Amino acid sequence: MVNFLSCDWGTSSFRLRLVEAQSFRVLAVQESQEGIAATFNRLDLRTRENPEERLRSYLLLIKKYISGIEQEKNTGLAGVPVIISGMASSSIGMANLPYRDLPFSVDGRDIGAAYYDASPGFAHPVLLVSGVRSETDVMRGEETQLIGSVPDNATAADGIYIFPGTHSKHIWVKNGQVTAFKTYMTGELFKLLSEESILREGVEENDNLHNTNYLQHFEDGVRDAQGTNLLHSVFRVRTNSLFGKRSKQENFNYLSGLLIGAELGEITPAETPHVYLCCGSNLKGRYAAALGVLGIKDKAQTFPADWADEAVVRGQVKIYKQFTHST
């Protein structure tokens, strides 16, 4: 495999990358908001209930973006494998694949997946990666990120791997196996509270944590989240505004600190050997600052933002090689 097409298809977004397989160098990118949810909602009932028609509809959408890359690079891509991870293997995706049960190996050898040969209608072999489940939780996509976060020819160190996002994941690794994980609806809850709730009138977006004033209000939120009821503490954002205690931009960072602090609050320094933070530059500063407030900074290792951003690509290649027994 010289090149491959990496498809990271989430609930609300779509990203297709042409990647050089050996170096993981991204040669071209197509992105949109045509996530799995919007794509599924456009299907008529007959297509949704017919597995072959449903799969064909999703592949036609991918084909549109492949054509975009072909035009951009002025080259044909027929025969180039497509590796898909994320929500595409869910109940609203192109095929509903069963979850892999815990534990699983972080080298990708036992991740569930489905393989589809190239066809006249879609001239690319496809590997569709499934998700993982515990007794109380599920994930699709983060397992691929985790596999890609571990360097080649290295054993994953024991500890908690944190993947911040709309639905943040904390993944426990021991002896090269994922033994447990938890989902936290941090990003989604922040969006709902800051844009749809009564709190929206008291906040104004500000991502500048380099400003020591905004950082202080963020850290105050992290501290105030500890040992309190989150349903009560978030109302302080409202009273901060009513009583003139914080500006809208300060409140934005305070609310962010409350939610991230609540997410990370279960991680106790005494019981945590190591923490590995895997996220892009947009959230890296906030989570690193929160770990510092909670006294876990000395036990935490933060992956470089570009390494974290490309983890899906590397994970997809590892899974593909394990699944196809290729090199």
Q: What is the pLDDT of residues 45-99, one digit of tens each?
A: 999 999 999 999 999 999 999 999 999 999 999 999 999 999 999 999 999 999 9
Let me know whether 93 and 208 are in one domain: no
321: nearest Cα among 103, 20, 21, 6: 21
Strand partners, 180: 172
Same domain for 11 and 109?
yes
Query: What range defines the domain where residue 135 resides?
Result: 3-140
Domain match, 17 and 77 both: yes
For residue 208, the SS3 value is coil
The pLDDT value recorded for residue 36 is: 94
pLDDT at site 154: 59
Q: Which pLDDT belongs to residue 273?
A: 77
DSSP of 18-64 = EEETTT--EEEEEEES--HHHHHHHS-HHHHH-HHHHHHHHHHHHHH
Residue-by-residue DSSP string for 95-143: S-PPPEESPEETTSTT--EEEE--BTTB-S-EEEE--EE-SS-EESSHH
Structure tokens given for 62: 């991918």
Residue 156 is assigned to a structural domain of this protein = no
Q: Is residue 37 part of a domain?
A: yes
Same domain, yes or no, for 30 and 129? yes
Is residue 147 assigned to a domain?
A: no
In a domain, 10, yes or no: yes
Residue 73 belongs to some domain of the structure: yes
Question: In 3-state terms, what secondary structure has residue 164?
Answer: coil
What pLDDT is attached to residue 156? 67
pLDDT at 152: 67
Q: What is the pLDDT of residue 92?
A: 95
- Select from 116, 140, 164 the last residue of a domain: 140
Do both 25 and 102 map to the same domain? yes
- Please answer whether residues 143 and 156 qualify as being in contact, where contact means their C-beta atoms are separated by less than 8 angstroms: no
| pLDDT score recorded for residue 244 | 94
Q: Would you say 237 and 202 are in contact if contact means Cβ atoms under 8 Å apart?
A: yes
Q: Looking at residue 140, what is its pLDDT?
A: 93
Contact 127/89 with Cβ under 8 angstroms? Answer: no
Residue 182 pLDDT exceeds 70: yes
Q: What is the mean pLDDT of residues 92-108?
A: 94
87 belongs to a structural domain: yes
Instruction: Return the CATH number at 266.
Output: 3.30.420.310
Tokens of 317: 């290649």
d(CA 247, CA 202): 8
Residues 265 and 203 in one domain: yes
Domain-located, residue 263: yes
Which CATH number is 45's domain given?
3.30.420.300
Distance, in Å, from the CA atom of 24 to the CA atom of 227, rounded to the nearest integer, reads 44
Rounded CA separation 121/201 (Å): 51
Residues 135 and 190 in one domain: no
Q: Looking at residue 269, what is its pLDDT?
A: 74
Work out the percent of the chain whose per-residue pLDDT is above 70.
Answer: 98
Judgement on whether residues 104 and 9 belong to the same structural domain of the protein:
yes
Q: What pLDDT is stored for residue 268 in this prediction?
A: 80
> Based on the domain organization, do 193 and 112 belong to the same domain?
no
CA terminus-to-terminus distance, the chain: 8
Element of type H or E holding 247: none
Same domain? For 130 and 17 the reply is yes
Task: State the CB neighbour count (10 A cutoff) for residue 186.
Answer: 22
Q: Which of 150-164, 170-184, 279-293 has the lowest mean pLDDT?
A: 150-164
Angle between helix axes 248-264 and 186-195 (nearest 10 degrees) is 150
- Residue after which a domain boundary falls, among 140, 169, 198: 140
Residue 282: predicted pLDDT: 81
Is-contact 322 85, C-beta < 8 A? Answer: no
Query: What local confidence, expressed as pLDDT, does residue 57 receive?
Result: 96
Cα 219 to Cα 53, 67, 214, 251, 287, distances in angstroms:
51, 47, 9, 12, 10
Q: Is the dihedral of CA 195, 201, 202, 204 positive or negative?
A: positive
Higher-pLDDT residue of 60 and 309 is 60
Contact 122, 129 (CB under 8 A): no
314: nearest Cα among 111, 19, 69: 19
Mean pLDDT, to the nearest integer, of 117-125? 95
Predicted confidence band at 153 (pLDDT cuts at 50, 70, 90)?
low
Confidence tier at 190 by pLDDT (50, 70, 90): very high
**Which segment of 36-50, 152-166, 245-259, 303-317 scores lowest on mean pLDDT?**
152-166
Tell whether 293 and 233 lie within a shared domain. Answer: yes
Question: How high is the mean pLDDT of the chain?
Answer: 92
Residue type, 326: S
Q: Taking CA 287 as the corner, what is the angle to CA 179 and CA 161, rounded to the nearest 5 degrees?
A: 15
Confidence check: pLDDT of 117 > 70: yes
Total domain count for the chain?
Answer: 2
Residue 155 clears pLDDT 70, i.e. is over it: no
pLDDT for the residue numbered 327: 59
Asked if residue 8 is part of any domain, the answer here is: yes
Specify the pLDDT at position 307. 85
- In the predicted model, is pLDDT for residue 223 greater than 80? yes
Please check whether residues 215 and 86 belong to one and the same domain: no
Last residue of a domain, one of 104, 119, 140: 140
Cα-Cα-Cα-Cα dihedral sign, residues 181, 9, 284, 110: positive
